[in-house]
Amino acid sequence: MKTAAETDKQRWERETLAPALAKLPDRSQPFTTISGRPIERLYTADDLDGIDASRDIAQPGEFPYTRGIHPTGYRGKLWTMRQFAGFGTPEETNERYKTLLRAGGTGLSVAFDLPTLMGRDPDHELSLGEVGKCGVNVTSLADMETLFDDIRLSEVTTSMTINSPAAMIFAMYLVVAEKQRADWKQLSGTIQNDILKEFIAQKEYIFPPRPSMRIITDIFAFCSREVPRWNTISVSGYHIREAGATAAQELAFTLRDGLEYVRWGVDAGLDVDDFVPRMSFFFNAHSDFFEEIAKYRAARKLWAEAMRDRFGAKSDRSWKLRFHTQTAGVSLTAQQPYNNVVRTALQALSAVLGGTNSLHTNSLDEALALPTAEAATLALRTQQVIAHESGVANVVDPLGGSYFVERLTKDMEDEALAYFERIDRMGGMVEAIERGFPQQEIAESAYRFQQAVERKDKIVVGVNGFVQTDEPPMEILYIGETASETQLAKLADLKRTRDSAAVRRTLDRLGSAARGADNLMPPILDAVRAYATVGEMCDTLREVWGEYEEVPMI
């Protein structure tokens, strides 16, 4: 019997739980999420204190979109199955894209190599050994033409993971579309274009933060006029999480980055409702199932409220947070790699239950190398099994109303808001980055997690538990040096055959635009049309703005 002063949960603990615990006590491991968040044994209606169901949870398609942005969930349209791929030469990657499209992939996603990501041509000293290794090498428009050979840009949507040289690569895509006679107004896809998370986590920056932010607002302005269906930015928590952040830190830093871009756009004179609807997000799907689901739900609510209340956005398209998800590369193990198929399936399921709009599932061999075609196909099949066999796509937000999930959603939101406040006090995200705040928070979390693994507080199957010593080696995709040789030869050839006066002239115009305040996209498009290389365009901007170097901290 419940006494007057106790809740039903307390009564249950006393009457039912206590005798059970006396017979069988808890296991000795800490009951925490992978982020170290303590989890209670049981959640009941009492845990919904402070949550107003109609205000905070609401219904799908309704503000604040905690339950999803689409009233129809996945019944109208499944998420986009978008597999990130790229390696070697544009010719090789073009083949892989055609394979993925034939296998039922519904969008393309380009992985570039490090020289391209860092704005260096294959003949630069720092490109030594890196050409085509972690993605496809794209040096000039000629490579982009090859990459999309036989693929109609008006019929696919393409996501491109490119940040510092995003404007140049996007311009190449637009010029390829132009040559295919596709209408820019109809083109759809995404450029990652999120420089803040580069400074915070992935570290593929070139220019200092402030001119980098200007390129981004120039892209916002250009696209709102010329390429209105293009997603101009994919504000990314993925890399923040991979660098070691907790789920709440991923949520907080990503959303706060988003707010920073909106502030810079508004300060550049843009109307919120003109550019915010084209902003999208990109989250990690890590291994702690419910914590991830809560993270996606909290993200939608935080964004909707911030857009309406902080920035006065009037359009519901500005309020709705759309996001891509990728399963956690960092969770994959080199040991017993087939276990990774299971990890990825669970992570993908959390993204789907959290209402992702598109999804990439990692391949089982990615702790060892870039994936083989077979491994990449199996990863796509994982999504198709979830979509068509598991039944989870039949119902909108199946976990809505779960005491546990709603409590966790609210806790994640509160933690993110506390970080927002700290970063606001520093003057904003650019200022926080300049003083190394998010970087240090993440490094702390990464080290704490590694220590938990060493202590076996966290078990990673096949690594610190259930270890197997007689593992057969796995066949991997080995990328040799031929891509580098091919790309170097093509570059030399290009430099002989293009109109070098036009290259010089367009690069000079780009330099003067960078020194002034004109939008950078038109001069970049002209340089691309003249077959200026990524390295040449970035060097032109390096001369004006200099290069960013972070202070090494451990």
Q: In the set 367, 373, 417, 452, which binds other proteins (CB under 8 A)?
A: 367
Of the candidate spans 56-64, 187-195, 457-465, 493-501, the one that interacts with other proteins by CB under 8 A turns out to be: 457-465
- One symbol per residue from 118 to 157: x for binding other proteins (CB under 8 A), - otherwise; what is it? x-x----xxxxxx--xx-----------------------
Residue 334 contacts other proteins per CB under 8 A? yes
Least Å distance, CB 486 to other proteins, is 16
Residues 240-259 that bind other proteins (CB under 8 A): 242-244
Q: How far, in Å, CA of 309 to CA of 307, rounded? A: 6
Q: Which is nearer to other proteins, 365 or 397 (CB)?
A: 365
**Which residues pair with residue 326 across a beta bridge?**
284, 360
Of the candidate spans 154-162, 312-320, 388-396, 470-478, the one that interacts with other proteins by CB under 8 A turns out to be: 470-478
Burial class (CB in 10 A: 0-12, 13-18, 19+), 8: exposed
Cα 161-166-172 angle, rounded to 5 deg: 100
Residue 476 contacts other proteins per CB under 8 A? yes
Residue 97: count other Cβ atoms within 10 Å of its Cβ: 24
DSSP 549: -
What element of type H or E holds 523? helix 521-529
Of the candidate spans 307-315, 390-398, 503-511, 545-553, the one that interacts with other proteins by CB under 8 A turns out to be: 545-553
Q: Which is nearer to other proteins, 421 or 549 (CB)?
A: 549
Q: How far, in Å, CA of 252 to CA of 178, rounded? A: 39
Q: Which is nearer to other proteins, 107 or 119 (CB)?
A: 119
Residues 106-125 that bind other proteins (CB under 8 A): 114-115, 117-118, 120, 125
Least Å distance, CB 107 to other proteins, is 25
Distances (CA, A) of 506 to 109, 191, 360, 499, 502: 29, 23, 37, 11, 6
83: number of CA atoms within 13 Å, CB side?
Answer: 31
Q: Which is nearer to other proteins, 86 or 462 (CB)?
A: 462
Of the candidate spans 28-36, 239-247, 267-275, 340-348, the one that interacts with other proteins by CB under 8 A turns out to be: 239-247
CB 260 within 8 A of CB 315: no
Residue 539 contacts other proteins per CB under 8 A? no
CB 247 within 8 A of CB 199: no
Cβ burial 323-339 (10 Å sphere, 16+ → b, else e): bbbbbbbbbbbebbbeb
Q: How far, in Å, CA of 90 to CA of 110, rounded? A: 10
Asked if residue 64 has a cis previous peptide bond (ω within 30° of 0), the answer is yes
Of the candidate spans 217-225, 247-255, 338-346, 454-462, the one that interacts with other proteins by CB under 8 A turns out to be: 454-462
Q: Which is nearer to other proteins, 38 or 552 (CB)?
A: 552
- One symbol per residue from 384 to 403: x for binding other proteins (CB under 8 A), - otherwise; what is it? --------------------
Q: In the set 478, 496, 501, 516, which binds other proteins (CB under 8 A)?
A: 478
DSSP 124: S
Q: How far, in Å, CA of 211 to CA of 201, rounded? A: 19
Q: Which is nearer to other proteins, 105 or 115 (CB)?
A: 115
SS3 432: helix
Q: In the set 369, 503, 527, 528, which binds other proteins (CB under 8 A)?
A: 369
Q: In the set 188, 335, 339, 402, which binds other proteins (CB under 8 A)?
A: 335
Q: How far, in Å, CA of 215 to CA of 205, rounded? A: 13
Least Å distance, CB 544 to other proteins, is 21
Give the residue from 265, 257, 308 showing the smallest Cα distance to 283. 257
Q: Which is nearer to other proteins, 450 or 512 (CB)?
A: 450
Q: Which is nearer to other proteins, 157 or 212 (CB)?
A: 212
Q: In the set 6, 183, 454, 493, which binds other proteins (CB under 8 A)?
A: 454
Give me the DSSP letters along 232-280.
-EEEE-HHHHHTT--HHHHHHHHHHHHHHHHHHHHHTT--HHHHGGGEE
Least Å distance, CB 479 to other proteins, is 6
Residue 88 contacts other proteins per CB under 8 A? no
Q: Which is nearer to other proteins, 417 or 460 (CB)?
A: 460
Q: Six-digit token pair at 228?
A: 């209105």
Of the candidate spans 4-12, 179-187, 330-338, 495-503, the one that interacts with other proteins by CB under 8 A turns out to be: 330-338
Q: Six-digit token pair at 28?
A: 């000795």
Interaction site with other proteins (CB under 8 A): 114-115, 117-118, 120, 125-130, 133-134, 198, 202-205, 242-244, 330, 333-335, 367-369, 443, 446-447, 450, 453-454, 460, 462-464, 473, 476, 478-479, 549-554
